[in-house]
Structure formats: structure tokens, C-alpha cells
Structure 1
Amino acid sequence: MAQTKTSWEDLANLGWPINDVFIKANAKRNGTMKDKNDIHLNKSIAADYQWWSYNKLIGDPRIISSVPNSVSREEVAWVYDNMQSTRPFQDAWTETWSNTSSATVSVQASISINIYASVTIFDVASSGYDITVDLARSCAESKEASYALSHSWAIEVDPGEKMSIIRVITTTGETTEYGQKFGVTSDSMVGTEGQKYNGHYYWGYNINSLLGNPQREVNIMGVSRNVTYAFKIVRESVNGVVTTTPLHIDYRDVVSDSGEKLPAAVRERWLKIADRAVGARAVKEVVHAD
């Protein structure tokens, strides 16, 4: 992509209007310039000597702030009370549900200099999605997917035991503010003329050195949302011992409703959410003892 030449309006938006640039350059030339007409940006003397200046993005997007949130609720998906029986109870249970995942990147106020540039935000708001957005205009770009899932469990409830399958629905989200710096290229120059100074009428000066690396930053907002399901078995014995065991789901071969494979980063996020929701291993506790 072709570079965009810097204008005086661009420099003003970087904090340096032409009069201030003139003052800096004139001081550099020991007062040998007359007025702002003796300073040139990509035109006249600057163009003659090829003292060009170009706009550019500086570095990668940085995280300014990030606010996560998470809410879970539990539902009883299946239950059987075998407390009064002397025989085990066997059954099978199939659960069908949908996990959803989405991320949005938005630029509320476009970049304030003339530049044709886009930037990619990786793992937007911890979503697992990478999204590219145009910084030259106010806009929003999104990615979202829904995954229809199903899993079956063989069930055996021992005599003197009550067993439940608990469905845990977790809605997680994150709002992350990013900043992308912009300015001029490291070799950008401004041309000057005036009375002879150090043997020459014309001098070019590096803009970053002259003006102290003029930069500004455009803000980019990233928002993510996941709705995921996790499951656990709760067994309560007749003597009050309650054992809670997570039912792990692999998600390895999952595809979205549109046929796209589940991104590895999204899968890892789902597994972490499930571990927080139902635990990573069985937990036993005594509720009461007769």
C-alpha cells in the first residue's frame, strides 16, 4: 500500500501547527528565516530536495484497560432418587445445546491524520478471534458463531443414592480498550529556506528530531461475549455424603452452524470457563451424618 504524505493539517493534529513548526525550525537556523512561508512540507524546496514526510502507524495496538464479567446459573437437567431402592438404576441421558461466541471491534473516532491503514486486534477482548479494522473511518467489525452441540452419558444410580445432572450456563464477556499510536515515519523531513545559514540557503530537518517525535493515539474498543454450557453430576448418598463430579466435554471436532471449525483459542477459552463453572476434579463433602 502506498504511503500517505504528511500535510500541515496532519502535523497540526499531531500537536504542531505550522507557526509552531516555524518557530522550532527558525531557532534551529539561528533566526535566519523570515516567516512561515519559508518552511515547506512535501512541496517547493522540500520536493526539490526530496525531503519527504509520510504518515504511519507506530508500533502495535496496546491494551489500555480491560474489564471482564461473568455470570453463571444452574439448572437441573436430570435427576433420579434411588434412596429407597436396593437395586441400581441404569439409564442414558442426551443433552443438546448451543454455545455461542462473538467479538466486535469498533473505532468511534477515526484517526486524525490522513492515512490508509488498518490494524488487526488479536484475541479481541480474550475472545479467541482476530479482527482487522479500518482506522481511517468510524466503523465496527464483528465475528460471531453458534455451535450446536450434543452429548450422551450412560448413567447408573447406586442403591441408596440420589443423582442429579446439573447444567451450568455461563455468560462471560469482556470490554477492552486498545490504543494505536500514529505519527510520521522516522526519516520524515521538513524543508526550510531563508538567509544563508552555515553556508546554505536551504536546510532540511528531521521532523521527529525537530519536534520531539510528534504522536497521537486512536482508541479502539473490543467487546466479547460467550454463552457456554458445562455439566456436572451430583451424587448424594443415604448417609449424607455428596460427591460432585464434572462431566468433561472435549470440543475437539466441533464445527459451527455454518460449517467452520471451532478456533483453537475459542476451544481453550471454553475449557477454562468449564473448569471454573464445574471444577476440574471430583469433590466430596459430608452434608450431614445420621
Structure 2
Amino acid sequence: MVFNLRKYKYLLVLILLTCITGYIFLGNNKEQPRLSLPGDSEPQVLGEWLAWNEVNPQFPKYSTAKVTDIDTGLQFNIARRGGTYHVDVQPLTARDTEVMKQIYNQNWSWKRRAVVVELENGKKIAGSMNGMPHGGGIIKNNNFDGHFCIHFRDSITHGSRKLDVAHQMMVMKAAGVIDEQLRLSSAQQLVLIFLAALDQKEESIFIKTTEPGAYQNLLLLELQSLESMKVIDIQESGDNLFQVRLRKQLMGSNQQMILEKEIMTLKKGGQWEVTRESVELLLVDDQPHNPDEKA
């Protein structure tokens, strides 16, 4: 049987063109990055987990930096005005103050937020800021009455000269090392981070520090009614059991409750966790009374 190529030449040309087009298309796909589509998550900016004694000389007084808020991605510029054990800084301009206030939902707050601080030398460092103007400031016309604080790994407060657990927790978050540090934490350290997560309403860290279960989602709703949960004292009272004294305040209330609670921990998968029973007891309303001391 003789095969008539002339009869099928157009079909052969079509097949050949299809193969060439497919090869070019696949080849180009290997070279080109995937297009960003609406709803795609952007890669999170993380900072270096650098200790305060290394940060301090690289961020001298009167130098500037750019702050990126981890949760929102919003950025603003600052200048360092002072600070011995952490940095005291100010927004550089009124526009920078406006962005910072947007990060705090238009309400100044002591709430800690995970940030990345980009220094003049280009180094990006994990930090934690509060959002409350206080003390003095030297920049005029920036619409910010005073300064605010940024902490870094192992920095301490100017008042107590102690580590602020909430700030350190946020520094870990900004550096992307929270999971690793939770695994390395002792039972008492884990409890303190858990309580800081409650106080700061850091839901993801709350989940990471507690015994897994569907109850966690229900308690996240209870967490929304909490204004603050401050640690006054913590003592180990038994194997993996801690006696804590707390100052608790609910949203919309000026009254504070002093609580005496026991928190039990257990170790699963190489990490300490707060038990379900302990979490539920902490979020149960107690009878308020007027405390004499201040945290």
C-alpha cells in the first residue's frame, strides 16, 4: 500500500506546528515566575533575631530607620531620640504618625506589635513596639506628643530593668522563631508566654501554647471580652504546676480582678502546653475587687 504524503501534507504541517507551539509554551513556563493572583498571600517580611547589645551600636541616637508592621505590612519612618536598655523613638513626620496610628486602628495603645526595623545600613532586625506616646520628644510638627519604645531580643525596660515577656514574644514572632523558641522553653517560660499571648490577644500564639482541641476556638471568642491579663507573680507549686497571681480586666470595665490561679502544664511532642482545664479556668469571670497594688 502506497502512503500518499501530498494528500495528508496539511494535516502533518498542523501536527508539527502544534508540537512546536507546545514546546515553546512549556519552555517559557519554566522560565517565567507564576503571576500573583488576587487573594495570593505575600511572603512575610521577617527580621534578624539580633540581640540588643548588637543592635544598640548599629542604631545610634538621632539615626533613622524604617518600621514594617508584621501583621499589616504597613511601613513608617522613625528617628531614635534615646534609650539605654531599648530604643526610644519618634515618627519622623506627621505622615509617619498617621501610618502608625492606622496600624493601631486609630487608637494609641500599649499593645505590643511585632515589627521589622530596617536600619540605615540596610540590616533588618526583628523588634517589638508599643503604640503609646509618652515622655519627651525632640521632633516638631510630627503630630506625636512624646516618643514610643521598640524592644529587641534581650532588651529590658527602663523602669523594672527586666525583660518584658510580651515584647520578647513579639520579637520572636517578627523573627519567625516562635515555634522553635516554644519547643526550647521550660514549663514556666511557656506559661509566661501563654499569659502574654492572652494579654496581647495573640490568637495564633495562644493556640500554639495550649493543649489542642476544638475548645480552643470557643475560648478565642471569650478572649475578645478580655481587656488585659497582667502577671503579678508566678511560683512553681508542684511538678509542672504553677501558682499565678494575675490582674484581670474585662472590656468596657474599669474594675480589675486579682486572681489566684493554678496552671498545669504537660509535655507533648517535645513541647510544654497549658492544659485545657487551666485555660478554661483562667477565662471564667471572677468576682472583682479593688486591688491595692499596681503592676
TM-score band, normalised by shorter chain: under 0.3
Higher relative contact order (CA 8 A, sep 6+): 1
**Greater Rg over alpha carbons, structure:** 1
More strand by share: 1
More helix by share: 2
Task: Tell me the TM-score normalized by structure 1.
Answer: 0.19
